[in-house]
Structure 1
C-alpha cells in the first residue's frame, strides 16, 4: 500500500468542483470510503452538484474539527485508515490558509511536509485543495514545496518543486517571543514523575485552567519529563505562563539531545519511547515547537484558549530564551 498525497491550487469554484467531484465519484464507484472536509459553503455546493447516489455515500467531516491541531489531524487520518481497513480511503480536505503569526503557519507547513513519510504505507488517497485567492505568496510556495504531486490543467503531474520533509525540518535555537500577560510558574523535573503530576494538577487547579486542558497539560508534560529522565540530562525545568489567547508551557532539558522538530509525527518514531511520548504530546496540545542547541533542548507547548480573541493592545512583555 502506498499513500498518495496530491495538491490542487484553484482560483475558481468550478475548477474545485470538477477535480474534487471526480475524486469522490471515482472512490464511490470503486466501493471505497470517500470523505470530504472543506469549507461548509464549498462542501454544500459540491454535494449538490454530485449525483445523489454519490453524494449519499460521501462522509462529510467538519473542516475545523479535522484541522483542529497538527498532531490531532494526523492522528485522525490514522484512525480513519484503521477504521476502514483494508479498504482504501479517499479524502478531499482543505488545509488552513497558512496566514497569521507563527507558530501556527510554520507547524501546519511542517505537518504538510511530513505527511508523505508519516502516512507512508497507509491505504489513503489525500487531495489537499487550496483556494489561491485566500493564500499569501508564502503559503502558495508552501503548497508547492510540500506536495509531491500537483493537479494541473492536464491532470496530476510530478511536482518538481517538492522538497520533502527536509524543507521544514530546521531546528530553531529558541522559539519566537510571545507576549507575557501574567506571572511565570516554574516546576523542577525531579526523579518522581507521580510527584510531578501531582504538582502540575495542583497548579492547573490553582490557575483555573479548563479541565480538559489541565489534563492535557499533565499528560503532555509527564511524557516530556519522562524523556528528560530516560534519554536526556536527567533533570530539567518546566515553565507555565499565560499569553493573549493561550497557555504556554516550556519543558527544558539541559542535554540538548532532542534535535528533530518533526519528532513525534512519523510512525517510525512510535517504535521508540521518545517518539511515542511526543506522538501523545502532539495530540494533547495545539502546537508543539522543538528548539535548542548543544546547551539544551526546549519544547514549547501551546494550549489555545478558543474563547478568547488575541488582543494586540495588551501589554507586550515578551518571554524568550
Structure 2
C-alpha cells in the first residue's frame, strides 16, 4: 500500500477513489495533499462538498488558492445531476488543455435512505460515464464514523481505489457489473396508501391535473407542484412515445415527502439517460434531464420488464 499523497504519475484514464475519514483531522489529512498536488501541477481543482466540509477545506487551502468551490448540498441534492456537472467541467478543462482533479462528497451524514441509494448508483455510474474519456482524478470522501454501514460498503464496491489518510490501495470489492445490476433492480414498493391510475396517449392533461391535486393535498408549495406538473408532462410523453403507448402513475405520501411514480413497459438500455447535459442543438430526448433538474430526488430503474421513474418531493 502507498501513502495517499503519492501522486507521482498522471492517471492513464479516469481515476475514481474513495477516501475514508474519521473526523476533521483525518479528512484534511486525506484531502489536502490531493488538492495541493493538483494545484502544484497546474490542474483545474474543483471541490464539491456540503457546506461544513466546504468551509473547513477552503480555510485550510486558503481563500486565494485557484480552486473552484461547489456546494454539494445544492448540486447533489438529487445525485442524478452530478455526472452532468462533472462532464461540463471536464469538457471545459480539456478544451483549455488542462488536467482536472475533483473532490466530491455526495453521501454525507444525515441524508435519507433513498438519497443514499441514489448516491450509490451515481458513484457506480461515474465509472461508466468517464472510463473511456480523458484522464482525470476524482476523490470521494466518506465519513466512516457517522455513515451507515451499507453506505460505506457500497463505496468499496463503486470505487476502484480506496484510501485513508495513511494508505491507498485497490478495492478488492469493486465491481463494474454492479452499475447495470443496480439500474435494473426494481425499487421497493409501499404496501398501502397508494393511489394508482392508468394513462394513455390522450390523458396527459388529466394526469397533470391529478398530480397537481395530489401535490397540493400534501401541502407542497406552488413551485413544487409546478415542478411535478412539468415532470408529469415529460414522463407521460415518454411513456406514450417509448413505453408502449401507456403507463401507470402511483402517488403516496410519507411523513417527510410526497412521492409520484411513473411506470411503463419500455426498456431503457442506457443507465446514463437524463444524467448528461443535452447539447444545445438537441431538440428531442431532453425530458429526463429536465425532470432531474426540476425535482428534489429522481430514481430511475429499467429492465426488459419495464421502466419506473420515482420522484420524491420533500415536504
TM-score, with structure 1 as normaliser: 0.74
Alignment match, 1:63 = 72
Match of 1:175 in 2: 188
For the 8 Å contact 2:129–2:272, the answer to whether it is kept is: no
**1:138 is matched with which residue: 150, 159, 162?**
150
* 1:1-321 → structure 2 map (5 Å cutoff): 2-50=13-61, 52=62, 55-86=64-95, 87-97=98-108, 102-120=113-131, 121=133, 124-152=136-164, 156-166=168-178, 168-169=181-182, 171-173=184-186, 175-177=188-190, 180=193, 184=195, 186=197, 188-191=199-202, 193=204, 195=205, 199=209, 203=213, 207=217, 209-253=220-264, 256-258=265-267, 262=271, 264=273, 276-285=286-295, 286-290=297-301, 294=305, 297-305=307-315
* Counterparts in 2 of 1:211 and 1:189: CA distance versus 1, 3 Å: farther
Name the SS for the 2:65 alignment partner: helix
What displacement does 1:250 show?
A: 1.8
Distance in 2 separating the partners of 1:263 and 1:45: 32
Q: Distance in 1 between matches of 2:228 and 2:292?
A: 11
Contact 2:259-2:311 at 8 Å conserved across structures: yes
Aligned-residue RMSD, C-alpha: 3.7
Bigger mean CA offset, 232-241 vs 19-28: 232-241
Distance 1:15 1:174 in 2: 35
**Which string of whole-angstrom CA distances, capped at 9 and with x for unpartnered residues, describes residues 52-85 of structure 1?**
4x85322222231132111122232233334444
- What does residue 4 of structure 2 align with? none
Aligned residues: 296
C-alpha spacing 1:33/1:69, structure 2 compared with 1 (3 Å): same
Change (3 A) 1:265 1:154: farther
- Shift of residue 205 of structure 1? 8.3
What is the SS of the residue equivalent to 1:103?
A: helix
In 1, the alpha carbon distance for the partners of 2:276 and 2:207 equals 27
Counterparts of 2:51 and 2:247, CA distance in 1: 45
* Native 8 Å contact 1:97 1:139 kept in 2: no
Q: Aligned with 1:64: secondary structure?
A: helix
Change (3 A) 1:156 1:273: farther
Structure 2 CA distance, aligned partners of 1:57 and 1:81? 16
Aligned 8 A contact 1:239 1:251 in 2: yes
Would you say the 8 A contact 1:169–1:260 is kept in 2? no
Q: SS in structure 1 opposite 2:175?
A: coil
Q: 1:77 to 1:213 in 2, by over 3 A?
A: farther
Which deviates further from its counterpart, 11-20 or 123-132? Answer: 11-20
CA apart distance, 1:47: 3.6
Q: Tell me the residue number matched to 1:313.
A: none
Matches of 1:156 and 1:221 in 2, distance apart?
A: 45
Distance verdict in 2 for CA 1:6–1:38, change over 3 Å: same
Is the CA contact (8 Å cut-off) linking 1:114 and 1:265 kept in structure 2? no
Contact 1:98 1:104 in 2 (8 A): no
